[in-house]
Structure 1
Amino acid sequence: MIKTIFIPALAGLAVLAAPTAALANTAQDTVTVRVSAADLDLTSDAGAAELQKRIRAATFKACLYDAKGQVTPADVQFSCVRESSKEARPQVAQKIASARFGG
């Protein structure tokens, strides 16, 4: 299962690809979730925290169901969330740094 999270950048679109470890021998599905940061001031701690909160919520939601709309097993959900979050972290940090320090 692969989860992709899109975060609109200040100028353009930043893409967060978040692969997840699904059950062995299972076909991979792709889910795309859009997370808006347009209304956030990422130069502030509160804005950065809100972006992190939105990404966490979107990741949980995206990992809850498989491509057929069935609830995924708990171990797959936890793995999906963990891997998606791990993959997104550096890209989110880069987005916040770009807002704060230019780039």
Structure 2
Amino acid sequence: MIRHSIKKIKPYGNDEEINAFIIDPPYEELNIIKGISDLGDLDLEIEWIKELINRNVPDYTQDGFIIYQPFLWGSRKSKIGEINDNKIIGAREFDTKEFLDLCYAWKQFLKANI
């Protein structure tokens, strides 16, 4: 299960605290979602993932591969990949629906903290 939490952190080296959206190990590489801070863009990402889930794409396919971080997407199960000798090697499996739920949680976090 992909777990996340909201924690207070002090990123500025002083006493000022801000809320941080933390994705718990071993799935911290799914922090890719935190790169989307525009709610409109996040809505597009959510729609894409919902479509992927509904299309019945084979698990671990390279359809939807994100070039900046290696993910092998599938409708049910996806993998966080590793690149080795220019080949993508699946590493850690995660449930695609749970990632969608994580996207919704990120959206709620953004709404509450913008």
Q: Point out the structure with max Rg over C-alpha.
A: 2
Higher relative contact order (CA 8 A, sep 6+): 1
Higher-strand-fraction structure:
2
TM-score w.r.t. the length of structure 1 is 0.37
Higher-helix-fraction structure:
1
